[in-house]
Amino acid sequence: MKLLPAAAKNDPYPVESWFLWLIIIGIIVNASGLFLPILEPDGALYATIAKNMVLSGDFVNMMIEGNDWLDKPHFPFWVTAISFKLFGINSFAYKFPGLIFWLAGAYYTYAFANKLYNKQTALWAVLVYISIEHLILSNNDVRAEPYLTGLMIGAAYYYYLAYCNNKWKHYIAGSLLLAFAVMTKGIFIICIVMAGFVIDWIIKKQWKQFLNYRWWVCIVLVLLFITPELICLYQQFDRHPEKIIFGQHNVSGVRFFFWDSQFGRFFNTGPIKGKGDKLFYVHTLLWAFLPWSIILFLLVGSAVKNFRTVITASSNYICGGIALAGLLVFSLSRFQLPHYLNILYPFFAIIVANWLVRLTHKGLLKTITYSQHILYYLLFSACIGLTFVVDLPFKIPTVVILALLAFVLDRLFRGNGLQQILVRSFAVIMVVNLFLNILFYPVLFRYQSGNAAAAILNEQHQDAVYMFNDVSSEYAFQFYYKGPIHKIDNRHLETLQKEIVVYSSKEKTDSLEQLGYQVQVIQQFPHFHISQLTGKFLYHSTREKAIDHFVIATVQPGLLTNTMHRKNYRYRRTILRQ
C-alpha cells in the first residue's frame, strides 16, 4: 500500500503493518463500555421499554409506567428485546446489539470507500470512523443512533451498487436496510439518503436516473418493508381514539410516524417542540468529531475556496451530498440534539479519508501537523486535569501511566509524516476513551442512584416498590429492579392499608413527614443525571451543591402522631386532594 504524502519512508515501524492492530484496538475500546450501567435518561428509558416487551410478551404496544409511549419507532426495541431473550435482561444485552450495528457501519464504510475510491482510502475511512469521539460515547450511552448509523451507510452502499450495475438484488438490499432505518428513526431518513444521489445525478446531469423505474419501485419496497411498524402503530393508537396521548384524544400513531415525529419537529409544529440554533452543529462538530474535527474544518474551508475546481463531472458527490443535506436539515430544524449528527459520520469519515489521501498542499499539511500535534498533548492533559478535578481514584498511577503512554506513542509513531500524525491522533482518542470508561464513568455512576437502589432491593426485597407520579421518573431503577413497580399519587396515601416501600427523592419523603406520615428512610443515595454533566458537578469541591438525594423508605398508613401533625391535618387533606 502506498504511503500518504509526506510520510517518512524509512520508518522502522511502517504504519501499514499496524492497520489491523489499530482496528482491533478501536473495536475493543468501543466495546469497553458494554458492562457499564445504562445511562439515564434516554438509554434507561429505551431499555425499560424493551424490558416491558419481554416481560409482557407484547411486541406491538410500547409501554412505560403503564402508559402508551409514542415517540420512536419499534425496530431498535424489537432488536433489544431479542437480545434480552438471548442474554438476559442486563446492561450487556441492551448495549451489545448497538455495537453490532456500529460494527456493520464500519464494514459498510470500508466497502463504500473502497468502491468509490481505493483500498487506502477505505482503510483510513474505517480508522476515522471507529475513532470518532461521539460514536465511541454512543456505544456506551446507547440510544437509536448506533442502529441508524450502520443502517444508513449500508443502505447508501447498496444503492450505490444499484446505481452502478442496476441489479435488483442491490435495490432490494438497500431498500430493506433503509426500511429498518425508517423503523428506527422515521420517514425523514429516506430524504437524507436519497438527497446524496439526487445531488450527484444533478451535477453529473444523469437525468435518466430520475426516469429509472427501479428507483420508484424502491419507494414501494420501503413502504412494504415498514408495514410491521405501521400495523403496530395502528393497533396501539389509531384503533383506540379514546386513549390520551400528548394530553389529547384521537392521536394517530401512523400520522405521527409519517409527519409529526420528523417533519413536525423540523417545522416545530408537532407535539414535541424545541428551540433551534443555526450554528448548533458547527460547535458540536468541534468536540463530537474529535480527533478529526480540525481536519474536517480545513477540508470544508479548502473546498469552499476551490469550489470551481472541486465540482467536476468525474468526482463522486453521494457522500458529500448526504452529509451536506443532513447537516443542513438538522441545522435548520428547531429540535436539535448532538447525537443526531452520528448518522452522518460514516460519510464524513469517507470524505475526510479521501481528502487526506490526495492532499499535497504544503500549507495544509503543515497546519494539520501542528494542530494534531497540539491536540495530541491537549487530550492527554485533559485526562490528567480531569483526574484531579473530578477526584478520581489512583491519581498518581493514572498520571504516570498517561504520561508514559504519551511518550511511548509519540516515539512509536515518531515523525511528521501525515500517517504518523494521524495514527497518533487515533491512538490518543483511544487512550481518552479507555480513561473515561475505566476510571471516569465508574466514579460518575455512584451518583446514578437508581442502579444502587435497585441492587439493594433486589437482594432484600422482591415485592412491589412504589414511585410517586410527581417525582421525576428514574428509568434506571425501573430497568434494574426485578420486582413489580407501581406509581402512586399523593391522594392514594390516605387509603393505604399497610406499609409500603418507596423509592423517591429525599425532598418528597421529607414533605410527607411534614404532612404527618410515618416515613422511615432505609438508605439514602446521592443523585445526579450524569449524562447531563455540569462544571459544578464535575468539580469535587462543589459537587455536593449540585447533587440531590434519593432514598429507599417505608411509608406507613397516614397517622397523626403529635400535636404539630394534628394542627396540619386540614392543610394535609387540602394538599392531598389537589
pLDDT of residue 48 exceeding 70, the answer is: yes
In the numeric block, the cell 464500519 is attached to 106
DSSP classification of residue 559: -
pLDDT of residue 10 exceeding 60, the answer is: no
Q: State residue 418's pLDDT score.
A: 85
3-class DSSP assignment, residue 144: coil
Q: State residue 246's pLDDT score.
A: 79
Lowest mean per-residue pLDDT among 26-30, 237-241, 278-282, 304-308: 304-308
Q: State residue 577's pLDDT score.
A: 40
Distance from chain centroid for Cα 270: 23
pTM recorded for the entire structure: 0.89
Residue 288 parent element (H or E): helix 280-288
The C-alpha cell that represents 266 in the structure block: 423540523
Please compute the mean of the pLDDT values over residues 461-479 and round it to a whole number.
88
Residue 547 parent element (H or E): none
pLDDT of residue 5 exceeding 60, the answer is: no
Share of the chain above pLDDT 90, in %: 62
Q: CA 522 to CA 499: how far, in whole Å?
A: 13
pLDDT, tens digit (0-9, with 9 covering 90-100), for 388-414: 999 999 999 999 999 999 999 988 888
Q: State residue 115's pLDDT score.
A: 94
Q: CA 209 to CA 42: how far, in whole Å?
A: 41
Lowest mean per-residue pLDDT among 98-107, 259-268, 472-481: 259-268
Q: Are strands 485-488 and 63-64 parallel, antiparallel or unpaired?
A: unpaired
Tell me which of 315 and 74 has the higher pLDDT: 74
pLDDT of residue 458 exceeding 70, the answer is: yes
In sequence order, what are the residues at sequence separation of 6 or more whose Cβ sits closer than 8 angstroms to the Cβ of residue 64?
45, 48, 49, 52, 473, 475
Contact 254, 230 (CB under 8 A): yes
- Confidence band of 123 (pLDDT split at 50, 70, 90): very high
- Confidence band of 551 (pLDDT split at 50, 70, 90): very high
pLDDT of residue 166 exceeding 60, the answer is: yes
- Confidence band of 7 (pLDDT split at 50, 70, 90): very low
Cα dist from 471 to 349, 396, 505, 528, 557, whole Å: 43, 41, 7, 14, 20
The C-alpha cell that represents 516 in the structure block: 404527618
Please compute the mean of the pLDDT values over residues 133-142 and round it to a whole number.
94
Lowest mean per-residue pLDDT among 151-160, 501-510, 564-573: 564-573
Cα dist from 477 to 54, 236, 458, 485, 572, whole Å: 17, 26, 11, 10, 29
457, exposed or middle or buried, with CB in 10 Å at 0-12, 13-18, 19+?
A: buried
pLDDT of residue 490 exceeding 90, the answer is: no
Exposure string of 541-557, with b = 16+ CB inside 10 Å and e = fewer, is eebeebeebbbbbebee
In sequence order, what are the residues at sequence separation of 6 or more whose Cβ sits closer than 8 angstroms to the Cβ of residue 432?
133, 379, 382, 383
Whats the size of the chain, residue-wise? 578
Strands (E) across 515-566 are located at 519-527, 548-555
Start-to-end CA distance of the chain, whole Å, equals 73
The amino acid that residue 92 corresponds to is F
Q: State residue 311's pLDDT score.
A: 55
3-class DSSP assignment, residue 505: strand
pLDDT, tens digit (0-9, with 9 covering 90-100), for 178-230: 999 999 988 888 999 999 999 999 988 889 999 999 999 999 999 999 999 99
Average pLDDT, the chain: 87
Exposure string of 20-33, with b = 16+ CB inside 10 Å and e = fewer, is eebbebbbebbbbb
Q: State residue 101's pLDDT score.
A: 97
